[in-house]
Amino acid sequence: MFDTLSDRLSSVFKKFSGQKRLTEENVQEGLREVRLALLEADVNFKVVKQFIDRVRDKCLGQDVLKGLNPAQQVIKIVNDEMIELLGGETTGLDLRGQQPYVIMMVGLQGSGKTTSTGKLANHLRKSKMRPYLAPADVYRPAAIDQLKTLAAQLDLPVYDSTVQMNPVDIARNAVAAAREQQCNVVILDTAGRLHIDETLMQELVAIKEAVAPQEILFVADAMTGQDAVTVADAFNNALDITGVVLTKMDGDARGGAALSIKTVTGKSVKFVGMGEKLSDLEVFHPDRIASRILGMGDVLTLIEKAQTTIKEEEAEELGRKMQRAEFDFEDFRTQMRRMRKLGSLESIMKLIPGMGALREKLGDMQVPEKEMVRIEAIINSMTRQERRQPILMNTSRKERIARGAGTTVKEVDKLLSNFEGMRQMMKQVMGGGKKKKGKMPQL
């Protein structure tokens, strides 16, 4: 999904990477292309204008984050604004008050409403809810059968609606039946039409008044782009919807609906449909989607880390220590703890000045979690002095450390010798010492 937009944006970012700093000129030029990319993705033009204005203001008024180049800065700003566009925080269902809760599914015919009703039931059941399904589309017999079939597949109770019944009665009776059967959430599949239709809206309003749903989810077909947004707006005006389910995102290369709905309707996308199967429903996470659109997951994580974790001075100090082979077990443990919180050793390495060359030599440096725990236990069992001066290590110290860490002297020895190898390697690469081709010793 979002493939086209991703491709366009990454070529814009590439252009920024050749620049030394952000100027009014290069920002204007870059943003012109971002604007085109968004319009091509079928994002609402008013939304595009607002977006571009905000990004431009931020780019030009930005306190430059130390250590980020212009491309990285632009990516960060675009990413932050993109998350806002997609709705900011992840908003799940808001089910509170009297049980059974009621979730009313509304939308046009063919949008994926009935399928999404089944998917949502499946999703809720996984989080230990007891869903009850209620087909209320009495105008399309096939819709009732379709939901009954889905209920059978999921082995969930379903209200035995017929086309002769009145939808408001179905809704009321289904809630009563759910309560009787100790189900705590009713998902109501309402009727759809091909177009917005006054009679239908009145019927939906009557259902809403009868059962006071906690959630009214508008189901929209993402592939219909701006039409989906217009229809969402109309449903919202009539029913004050609580959120949106965007279906068929698996086939949507453009992403216009996802990027416009929140700004236009003020309501967030809560779920996305990613396929036809009952398991193909995902909670909508604006931050993850934004980074998928930008196709810059790695860069963004790096930027976040640069902001929040390693302070520049600290990184420089570390670099100096490495150069002089003074990097000790205290430093190593600090970095390792950080890594475990943040991810791979590789991503930390990127932040240390001059480490690029070392990284190239080392290749993939992911140390498995279990291994890290083991190594940390050994380091923890050393005294502070031993961590600072591994040279002090003798047999009785090693024995004590091994006992403390629940391991063998052999393992302690292995760590010590690999650590020394790593220090030498760092010294060579960082300090421009005699360069030898070699492999990073395995810790």
Interface with ligand GDP by CB under 6 A: which residues?
A: 107, 109-115, 143, 192, 247-248, 250-251, 273-276, 280
Q: Is 148 annotated as a binding residue?
A: no
Is 189 a known ligand-binding residue? yes
Q: Which is nearer to ligand GDP, 117 or 291 (CB)?
A: 117
The answer to the question of whether 114 is labelled as a binding residue is: yes
Cβ at position 142, least distance to ligand GDP in Å: 8
Between 131 and 273, CB nearer to ligand GDP: 273
Task: Single out the residue of 211, 254, 247 nearest to residue 232, CA to CA.
Answer: 247
Residue 155, marked binder: no
**Has 108 been labeled as part of a binding site?**
yes
Nearer to ligand GDP, 247 or 323 (CB): 247
Query: Of the two residues 7 and 145, which places its CB atom closer to ligand GDP in the complex?
Result: 145
The residue among 30 and 273 lying less far from ligand GDP, judged by its C-beta, is 273
Which among 424, 428, 414, 422 has a CA at the least distance from the CA of 441?
Answer: 422
Minimum CB separation of residue 295 from ligand GDP in Å reads 22
Peptide bond into 100 cis (omega under 30): yes
- Alpha-carbon torsion 407, 409, 412, 417, what sign? negative
Closest-approach residue to ligand GDP (CB)? 273
Instruction: Tell whether 437 is in a known binding site.
Output: no
Least distance in angstroms from the C-beta of 112 to ligand GDP: 3
192 assigned ligand-binding residue: yes
Helices (H) and strands (E) in the chain, counts: 20, 7
Residue 188 CB, nearest distance to ligand GDP (Å)?
A: 13
Tell me the closest approach of the beta carbon of residue 119 to ligand GDP, in angstroms: 8
In DSSP notation, 252-299 reads: -SS-HHHHHHHHHHS--EEEEE-SSSTT-EEE--HHHHHHHHHT-HHH
Minimum CB–partner distance for residue 73 and ligand GDP (Å): 36
Q: How far apart are the first and last CA of the chain?
A: 40
Q: Cβ contacts of residue 328 below 8 Å, gap of 6+?
A: 321, 387, 388, 389, 390
Which C-beta is closer to ligand GDP: that of 275 or that of 319?
A: 275
Token pair for 239: 């029913």
Known binding-site positions: 107-114, 189-193, 247-250
Known binding-site positions for GTP: 107-114, 189-193, 247-250
